[in-house]
């Protein structure tokens, strides 16, 4: 065995040795006989521990409390009950006691004369609550024992306490009650002895349980990672799940490590314990099938899955005392799975398979733990204080790890051998393969590029056609309206009765003509943009001139809504841009500001270049109109669908204005942003280069999706 595999085995043997040492502290073999534990053979200063197994006095349906310093010799028990054991197994007047109820266990401890050394008491969990007193003084309790289910509080929490004898005889009274479980009483041995021995033994049990759980959890991660690296091997998945269940089991069953984190909810602990048992038997059955696959055992594993589903429903829906009977089904299923695995491994050993020798060792070790735990859970094992299946599982873990590492090493060696053969074969073919690969790669790249180009063209063509269809459906109406208005006004001018209103009608014609011109300009520029034919000829221009020109054009529309147009210039207003394109940008933004501002509102235009050497000039067009919602702002410049919002006077639009503005600003090497609050107005900010040396030429418009 390699050194890397030997280290885990040495760690496993160390844990097993520590377990054996901690379990071998029983240097006193006295038993409780007829309610008396005789320890008078001890001497002062002896370091000892003893299990208080045997015949305890028991009263059913009675709580006995005792009096401090007073030990009664006149009490007559209902019966002498076997401890550890359940009172439901006791017989009184020819009948077994009921599983629900309450009672009192009593025993006397006879100490050597004058023995006053501090003693320790290691208390197991009871089904389902208890209270212990020594010579009439209450020392500890788990939950609240009571005469009725309404007052009883169940609890599972192993503990130990110390007591200094004040007399040579100790009267131990344990008052117990059970209204929740299928059985009542204490099913694990209680221990007493010198304080040091009991404390050491209690600490060792917890330390070993934590260490084993930690090792199993680390093993779970180890095997799970290997499964994730090679998901073809489902044995690793099932094995890792089985190991995880056994790593969690000590937290929800003896020694109940979950109490470390102050979780004492009895119902949660019991339901969690049974869920772990269901997952454990299910993963174990499929692991056995994957190691030794047979058709009939696959059906058995599926049957286990059905039991698993019904079991989960029972755990969730039924009272604990009902679904706790399922433990016998779980135990029987576990025995059948293990017998199948042992039988198949023996058959493999008989055929000379050395791996099955290791599996047989692992399964036999697990069988010892399983049988011991079954006896322990049914109070048939007097000397056991812990479920040891998790401990014996370590043998299977290390055997599985050994096989896993062995398999990886062998696969590595096989890969090296095959790699050497391939290298020798490839030496003659390498040049030819390279040439052929280069040719294929070149053709593949060419074909891929063509396909991508065609796909882009098709996608762009489809988007353009869809967009044009939508635009034309909108434009057909928007072109008709101003033309009809103009014609209608001209016909009215021919009438004698309307000649006095010539100026007003002329203004209406001008407004309709301006709308028509703006619409046609937007359509013309946008159409050129779709065919990448926009001419981008930047030069140094004065933004103030453009703004004032557009203000004069749109002033009539603003006056009709009583909207004030304010223009402010801060610093220079020179920029490097195409005058025609930015003229369209300013006109669209200013027209939108007027369109979405209420009567009596305000539109402010600010041009600023903060510093002489600044590379950017900024245009801000702000209004106090209806504003834009945050959702609409996110897709204002990028949405592919055309969406137009009516103005404050129900003015209509095409929905391409802001999209065209964004494209023209981008083409001009600038940026556009918007800040808006619904009900308070909007502010569009355009940043353009202040200087530049771009040559005249045909610009290329990149559309945004």
Query: What is the full DSSP assignment across 327-366?
Result: HHHHHHHHHHHHHHHHHHHHHHHHTT-HHHHHHHHHHHHH
Dump pLDDT digits (tens) for 132-152: 999 999 999 999 999 999 999
Helix, strand, coil abundance in the chain, percent, nearest 5: 55, 20, 30
What pLDDT shows up at residue 24?
A: 43
Chain-centre distance for alpha carbon 440: 45
* Beta-carbon contacts of residue 354 (< 8 Å; ≥ 6 apart): none
Structure-model confidence comparison of residues 659 and 213, the more confident one: 213
Q: Which of 221-225, 312-316, 547-551 has the lowest mean pLDDT?
A: 547-551
Residue 18 has pLDDT above 80, yes or no: no
| E strand or H helix that includes residue 698 | strand 697-698
Q: Which of 106-110, 505-509, 647-651 has the lowest mean pLDDT?
A: 505-509
Dump pLDDT digits (tens) for 629-686: 888 888 887 766 666 778 888 776 666 778 878 888 988 889 999 999 998 899 999 9
Torsion angle of C-alpha atoms 93, 98, 104, 106, degrees rounded to 10: 60
Structure-model confidence comparison of residues 482 and 203, the more confident one: 203
Token digits of residue 87: 């009172």
């929740």: which residue's tokens? 180
Q: Decide: 578 and 536 in contact? Cβ < 8 Å.
A: yes
Token digits of residue 635: 């897709």
SS3 state of residue 141: strand
| E strand or H helix that includes residue 320 | helix 320-323
Domain boundaries, the chain: 3-16+203-408, 30-199, 532-698
CA distance 547 to 607: 9
What pLDDT shows up at residue 95?
A: 93
Dump pLDDT digits (tens) for 457-484: 777 777 666 555 545 544 544 554 566 5
Chain-centre distance for alpha carbon 343: 41
């389902």: which residue's tokens? 128
Q: 452 exposed, middle or buried (CB, 10 Å; 0-12, 13-18, 19+)?
A: exposed
SS3 state of residue 614: coil
- At residue 363, what are phi and psi to the nearest 5 degrees? -70, -35
SS3 state of residue 206: helix
Q: Which of 1-15, 52-66, 155-169, 517-531 has the lowest mean pLDDT?
A: 1-15
Q: Please name which of 348, 342, 359, 353 lies closest in space to residue 399, comparing C-alpha atoms.
A: 359
Residue 342 has pLDDT above 90, yes or no: yes
Residue 227 has pLDDT above 70, yes or no: yes
pTM for this entry: 0.57
Q: Which of 95-99, 235-239, 331-335, 430-434 has the lowest mean pLDDT?
A: 430-434
**DSSP single-letter state for residue 176:** E
Alpha carbons within 13 angstroms on the beta-carbon side of residue 199 total 10
Domain at 30-199, CATH from 3.30.70.890, 2.60.120.330, 3.40.50.300, 2.60.120.260: 2.60.120.260
The pLDDT confidence band at residue 29, using thresholds 50, 70 and 90, is: confident
Buried b (16+ CB within 10 A) or exposed e, 246-264: bbbbbbbbbbbbbbeeeeb
The pLDDT confidence band at residue 314, using thresholds 50, 70 and 90, is: very high
What pLDDT shows up at residue 500?
A: 63
Q: Please name which of 567, 557, 526 lies closest in space to residue 656, comparing C-alpha atoms.
A: 526
């002895």: which residue's tokens? 193
What pLDDT shows up at residue 508?
A: 63
Which strands make up the sheet holding 671-677, listed edge to edge? 564-570, 602-608, 616-623, 681-689, 671-677
The pLDDT confidence band at residue 81, using thresholds 50, 70 and 90, is: very high
What is the number of H-type helices and E-type strands within the chain?
Answer: 14, 23
What pLDDT shows up at residue 119?
A: 95
| E strand or H helix that includes residue 125 | none
Residue 405 has pLDDT above 80, yes or no: yes
Residue 23 has pLDDT above 50, yes or no: no
**Rounded average pLDDT over 44-50:** 89
Q: Output the 3-class SS for 406-463.
A: HHHHHHHHHHHHHHHHHHHHHHHHHHHHHHHHHHHHHHHHHHHHHHHHHHHHHHHHHH
Q: What is the mean pLDDT of the chain?
A: 83
Task: Please tell me the class of the 3-16+203-408 domain.
Answer: mainly alpha
Residue 96 has pLDDT above 90, yes or no: yes
What pLDDT shows up at residue 523?
A: 58
* Beta-carbon contacts of residue 281 (< 8 Å; ≥ 6 apart): 304, 307, 308, 330, 333, 334, 337
Q: Please name which of 50, 188, 196, 199 lies closest in space to residue 110, comparing C-alpha atoms.
A: 50
Token digits of residue 123: 């208390």
Architecture field, domain 532-698: 2-Layer Sandwich (3.30)
Task: Please state whether beta strands 564-570 and 602-608 pair in parallel, antiparallel, or not at all (unpaired).
Answer: parallel
Structure-model confidence comparison of residues 647 and 218, the more confident one: 218
């174990």: which residue's tokens? 284
Residue 333 has pLDDT above 90, yes or no: yes
CA distance 627 to 645: 11
What pLDDT shows up at residue 52?
A: 93
Cis peptide before 514 (omega within 30 of 0): no
pLDDT over 70, % of the chain: 82
Buried b (16+ CB within 10 A) or exposed e, 42-52: beeebebbbbb
What pLDDT shows up at residue 683?
A: 95
Task: Please state whether beta strands 91-92 and 137-142 pair in parallel, antiparallel, or not at all (unpaired).
Answer: unpaired
What pLDDT shows up at residue 533?
A: 55
Token digits of residue 44: 């002062």
Q: Decide: 231 and 247 in contact? Cβ < 8 Å.
A: no
Helix locations, 109-233, DSSP H: 195-229
The pLDDT confidence band at residue 503, using thresholds 50, 70 and 90, is: low
- The string of DSSP letters for 493-506 reads HHSGGGGGGHHHHH
Q: Please name which of 330, 208, 202 lies closest in space to residue 273, comparing C-alpha atoms.
A: 330
């Amino acid at each position: 065995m390699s050194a890397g595999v030997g280290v885990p085995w040495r760690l496993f043997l160390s844990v097993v040795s520590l377990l054996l040492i901690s379990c071998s502290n029983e240097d006193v073999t006295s038993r409780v006989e007829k309610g008396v534990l005789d320890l008078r053979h001890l001497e002062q200063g002896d370091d000892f521990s003893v299990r208080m197994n045997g015949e305890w006095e028991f009263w059913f349906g009675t709580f006995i409390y005792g009096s401090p310093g007073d030990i009664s010799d006149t009490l007559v028990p209902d019966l002498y009950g076997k401890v550890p054991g359940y009172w439901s197994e006791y017989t009184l007047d020819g009948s077994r006691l009921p599983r629900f109820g309450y009672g009192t266990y009593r025993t006397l401890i006879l100490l050597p004369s004058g023995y006053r050394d501090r003693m320790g008491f290691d208390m197991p969990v009871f089904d389902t609550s208890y209270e212990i007193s020594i010579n009439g003084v209450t020392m500890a309790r788990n939950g609240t024992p009571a005469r009725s289910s309404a007052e009883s509080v169940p609890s599972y929490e192993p503990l130990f306490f110390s007591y200094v004898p004040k007399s040579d005889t100790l009267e131990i009274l344990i008052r117990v009650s059970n209204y929740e479980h299928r059985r009542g009483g204490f099913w694990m041995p209680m221990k007493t002895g010198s304080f040091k021995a009991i404390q050491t033994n209690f600490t060792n049990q917890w330390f070993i349980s934590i260490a084993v759980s930690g090792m199993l959890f680390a093993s779970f991660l180890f095997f799970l990672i290997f499964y994730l690296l090679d998901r073809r091997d489902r044995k690793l998945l099932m094995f890792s799940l089985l190991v995880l269940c056994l790593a969690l089991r000590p937290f929800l069953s003896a020694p109940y490590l979950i109490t470390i984190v102050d979780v004492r909810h009895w119902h949660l602990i019991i339901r969690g314990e049974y869920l772990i048992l269901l997952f454990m038997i299910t993963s174990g059955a499929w692991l056995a099938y994957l190691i030794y696959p047979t058709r009939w055992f696959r059906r058995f594993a599926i049957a286990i899955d059905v039991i698993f589903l019904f079991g989960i429903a029972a755990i969730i829906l039924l009272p604990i005392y009902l679904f706790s009977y399922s433990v016998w089904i779980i135990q029987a299923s576990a025995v059948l799975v293990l017998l199948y695995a042992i039988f198949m491994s023996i058959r493999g050993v008989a055929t000379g398979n050395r791996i099955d020798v290791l599996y047989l060792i692992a399964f036999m070790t697990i069988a010892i733990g399983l049988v011991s735990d079954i006896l322990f859970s049914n109070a048939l094992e007097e000397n056991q204080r812990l479920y040891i299946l998790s401990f014996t599982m370590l043998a299977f873990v290390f055997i599985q790890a050994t096989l896993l590492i062995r398999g990886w090493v062998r696969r590595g060696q096989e890969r090296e051998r095959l790699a050497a053969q391939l290298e020798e074969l490839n030496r003659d073919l390498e040049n030819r393969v390279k040439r052929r690969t280069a040719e294929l790669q070149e053709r593949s790249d060419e074909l891929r590029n063509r396909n991508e180009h065609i796909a882009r063209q098709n996608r762009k063509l489809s988007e353009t056609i869809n967009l044009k269809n939508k635009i034309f459906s909108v434009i057909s109406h928007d072109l008709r309206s101003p033309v009809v208005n103009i014609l209608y006004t001209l016909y009215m001018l021919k009438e004698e009765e309307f000649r006095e209103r010539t100026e007003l009608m002329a203004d209406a014609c001008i407004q309709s003509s301006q709308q028509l011109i703006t619409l046609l300009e937007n359509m013309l520029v946008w159409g050129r943009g779709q065919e990448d034919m926009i001419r981008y000829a930047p030069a140094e221009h004065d933004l103030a001139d453009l703004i004032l020109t557009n203000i004069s054009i749109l002033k009539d529309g603003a006056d009709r809504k009583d909207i004030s147009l304010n223009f402010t210039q801060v610093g220079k207003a020179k920029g490097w841009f195409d005058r025609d394109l930015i003229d369209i940008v300013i006109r669209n933004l200013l027209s939108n500001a007027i369109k979405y501002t209420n009567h009596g509102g305000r539109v402010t235009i600010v041009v600023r270049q903060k510093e002489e050497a600044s590379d950017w000039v900024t245009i801000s067009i702000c209004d106090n109109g209806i504003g834009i919602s945050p959702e609409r702002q996110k897709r204002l410049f990028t949405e592919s669908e055309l969406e137009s919002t009516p103005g404050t006077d129900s003015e209509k639009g095409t929905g391409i204005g802001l999209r065209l503005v964004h494209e023209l600003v981008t083409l001009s090497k600038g940026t556009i942003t918007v800040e808006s609050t619904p009900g308070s107005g909007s502010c569009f900010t355009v940043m353009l280069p202040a200087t530049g040396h771009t040559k005249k030429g045909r610009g290329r418009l990149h559309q945004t999706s």
